[in-house]
Amino acid sequence: MSAGTICRCWLALLILLALTTGSAFIPLGTANLFVSLGIAVTKALIVLLFFMELKTSSALVRVFAAAGFFWLMIMIALTTADYTHRTDQRVPLDQVR
Amino acid sequence: MAEETLGFQYSTLQQERETVTLGMWAFLATEVLFFGALIAAYFSYRIWFGAEFIAAAKMTKVALGTANTAVLLTSSACMAMAVTSHEAGSRRAPVLWLIATALLGLSFVVIKGTEWFLEYQEHLVPALNFDLARHGGVAEIFFIFYFCATGLHALHLLIGICLVCWLAFAIGTGRLKPGSTTRLIGLYWHFVDIVWIFLFPLIYLAGRNG
């Protein structure tokens, strides 16, 4: 990895940080969350591919690196799917008795 | 690289490099799940408590959080420079880059500590002085998450700072030849950076315009 690449990555990371903080103050509704998470994923990919050298690593190392994130996606997807589909309905007491 | 000593269990330097990198990634995968569980908890709270939870996130210090993110991203760039210069065979440059990395890491902890102190003054620390009547129960749940997540992250960073200081010392005194150790500690440092990249928008940027 050359010093030039590191410098460009660092600049890109700081620009993305400015974008994500700036975007949080623009009212976009739920899109705010997805914009900030999208930028976070982009920043993480820059760190993973260049600083952590996954771009030049062997396929086996990349699979190991992807495995943790893959299982995490399953955990988060199932957890959020569960919680988004729960309803908080109050049942009158006499129906429970 | 020619000076590097080969572990007895390896037949080539390339094999050693691949093996230790793979081992480090196996460890990092467990760390991904460790912090991932916290983030999954965040999402379930956020869905379940909705607007009240997001309103609590607004009480965090967004300016300090943004500054801290910039500090940590810069420290990662310094760490990458240390790894590159060490592999190029230099001895002075990696030590200086590592010192810069450790100092930036320490500034992160100091800024984080300042935030915690401000939150203590605002009676936002659960179990210590949380003002339930003023902030409400959902805010308490948010701040329990906040202190667990940032606390565990800061602990990881402190471990990283110790490792980086040791590494700078070992390279500076000539005890450590160019090899995999610097890269492995680099991987750990960058991982701690990635955790923060995700914690930052979830903690500081939620509900900023509502």
Give ipTM to 2 decimals.
0.91
For residue B128, give how far its alpha carbon lies from the nearest alpha carbon of chain A (Å).
Answer: 30
Query: Strand, helix or coil at A28?
Result: coil
Give me the mean pLDDT over the A10-20 stretch.
Answer: 97
More confident residue, A92 or B180: B180
pLDDT of residue B10: 87
Which of the four pLDDT bands, split at 50, 70 and 90, describes residue A94? confident
Count of CB contacts below 8 A, A vs B? Answer: 137
**Using CA atoms, how far apart are residues A10 and B83, in angstroms rounded to an integer?**
15
Cα B65 from Cα B69, distance rounded (Å) = 6
CA A59/CA A67 separation, integer angstroms: 12
Q: Which fold has domain B14-204?
A: Four Helix Bundle (Hemerythrin (Met), subunit A) (1.20.120)
A66-75, A81-90, B85-94, B108-117: least confident range: A81-90
| Cβ contact B191–A52 (<8 Å) | yes
CA–CA separation, A35 and B111 (whole Å): 26
In angstroms, what separates the C-alpha of A6 from chain B's closest C-alpha? 6
Q: Establish if B192 touches chain A: CB-CB under 8 angstroms.
A: no
Geometric angle at alpha carbon B200, from B197 and B206, rounded to 5°: 135
What token pair was written down for B202?
Answer: 């979830």
CB A49 within 8 A of CB B14: no
**pLDDT at residue number A71:** 93
Q: What is the pLDDT along chain B (210 residues), one digit of tens a residue?
A: 444 667 788 888 888 889 999 999 999 999 999 999 999 999 999 999 989 999 999 999 999 999 999 999 999 999 999 999 999 988 899 999 999 999 999 999 999 999 999 999 999 999 999 999 999 999 999 999 999 999 999 999 999 999 999 999 999 998 888 778 999 999 999 999 999 999 999 999 998 886
CB B191 within 8 A of CB B209: no
Three-class SS state of B145: helix
Tell me the C-alpha to C-alpha distance, in Å, between residue B140 and each of B42, B45, B58.
13, 12, 13
Alpha helices in chain B (DSSP H): 13-49, 51-57, 62-87, 92-121, 132-135, 137-172, 180-204
CA-CA distances (angstroms) from residue B73 to A7, B169, B205?
11, 23, 17
Chain B residues with CB under 8 Å of A36 CB are 201, 205
| pLDDT (0 to 100) of residue B2 | 40
pLDDT attached to residue A1: 83
Cα–Cα distance measured from residue A61 to residue B88, given in angstroms and rounded to the nearest whole number: 23
SS3 A91: coil
Question: Does B111 lie at the interface with A, CB-CB under 8 angstroms?
Answer: no
Picking from B19, B61, B76 by the largest number of A CB atoms within 10 A of its own CB, the best residue to mutate is B76
Both structure tokens of B196 = 């923060």
From the candidates A26, A51, A87, which should be mutated to test the interface with B, based on the most B CB atoms within 10 A? A51
Nearest C-alpha of chain B: how many angstroms from A3?
7
Q: How far apart are the first and last CA of chain B?
A: 56
Output the pTM of the full model.
Answer: 0.92
Compare CB distances from B80 to A37, A51, A75 and report the shortest one's residue.
A51
> Which chain B residues are closer than 8 Å to A52 by Cβ?
186-187, 190-191
